[in-house]
Amino acid sequence: MLFKSSLLLSLGASCTAAQSLASVLTGNPDLSSLTSALEEFPDLLSALNSTSNITVLAPNNAAFAALASTPAGQAAQSDAGLLEAILEYHVVSGVYPASSIPSTGAFVPTLLTNTSYTNVTGGQRVEGISSNGGVTFISGGKATSNVTQADITFDGGIVHIINSVLTVPANITATAEAAGLTSLANALIKVNLLETVNDLADVTVFAPTNAAFAAINSTVATLTDAQLASILEYHVISGTVGYSTLLTNGELIPTLDNGANVTITLGNGTVKVNQANVVIPDVLVANGVVHVIDA
């Protein structure tokens, strides 16, 4: 660890400008856990220290301590690839001071591009949103991380200290299970579409709740697998990640169901897909986004 710390310090000293990223990290004792994690990946650490135009979302020590007791944290302790992916997910492409984060939300790209963990063109996104004078970042599973100290500048950009570690978005299977969308998952399994949907790049899924499936249960029971597959494909868009901030009123979006369109309607702070209401928007998944709908 002494060697690693010396490496980090030497990286900071090698920069001619006033404050490098390494200087920010080593100069803040509440970021020692992040520093130690980054030291496990010298190439990543060196790249970050020489990269410009980035925003680093820096979990504090309490955030890392909380992570250690979670399944994701325990998995990362024995999986270096996962830990590196988690760290990459905390680096945003572009400089975003707290004042630039809108109250309507913004989905910003990160350095997480490893295809073992994401299939979103340009890097997995994290959502930033401002509210009541503060900024929150929303990651996989709608996990929230609040900014506790904003706008620490360094040579290559800016650091925001956050109070919890971001969650790398899981695939659609794991996300549906965690959200209790069992009827959708079971239907996708029944017609052999689940892995197909998991493997698509840049996907948007309009995911009916269990109650929505229950409301048409008698109809679903009469469908052939081909007919059910067609209905499910009508809920999936491939090639477009339709974050709510990108949707427009009256927009027609072609689906996997032979290009049949769904219609987006915006009004009074709500989003509708055809006649269905979006009840939980913007659930980030490994390959895009899921919007939970009520029909």
pLDDT tens for each residue of the chain, 295 residues long: 333 444 444 444 443 445 899 999 999 999 999 999 999 999 999 999 889 999 999 999 999 999 999 999 999 999 999 999 999 999 999 999 999 999 999 999 999 999 999 999 999 999 999 999 999 999 999 999 999 999 999 999 999 999 999 999 999 999 999 999 999 999 999 999 999 999 999 999 999 999 999 999 999 999 999 999 999 999 999 999 999 999 999 999 999 999 999 999 999 889 999 999 999 999 999 999 999 999 9
Please report how the helices 42-50 and 32-39 are oriented relative to each other, as an axis angle in degrees rounded to 10: 110
Which pTM was predicted? 0.92
**Beta bridge pairs of residue 276:** 273
Per-residue tokens: 201: 């790049």
In total, the chain counts a number of residues equal to 295
Phi, psi (rounded to 5 degrees) for 273? -115, 110
Query: Coil, strand or helix: which one is 286?
Result: coil
Alpha-carbon distance 205 to 52, whole Å? 34
Contact 196, 171 (CB under 8 A): no
Per-residue burial over 39-48, b = 16 or more CB atoms within 10 Å of its CB, e = otherwise: bebeebbeeb
Contact 30, 63 (CB under 8 A): no
Alpha-carbon distance 105 to 136, whole Å? 9
Q: What is the pLDDT of residue 269?
A: 87
Alpha-carbon distance 295 to 277, whole Å? 7
Per-residue tokens: 182: 């069992």
- Among 70, 71, 72, 92, smallest CA distance to 82 is for 72
Alpha-carbon distance 161 to 145, whole Å? 10
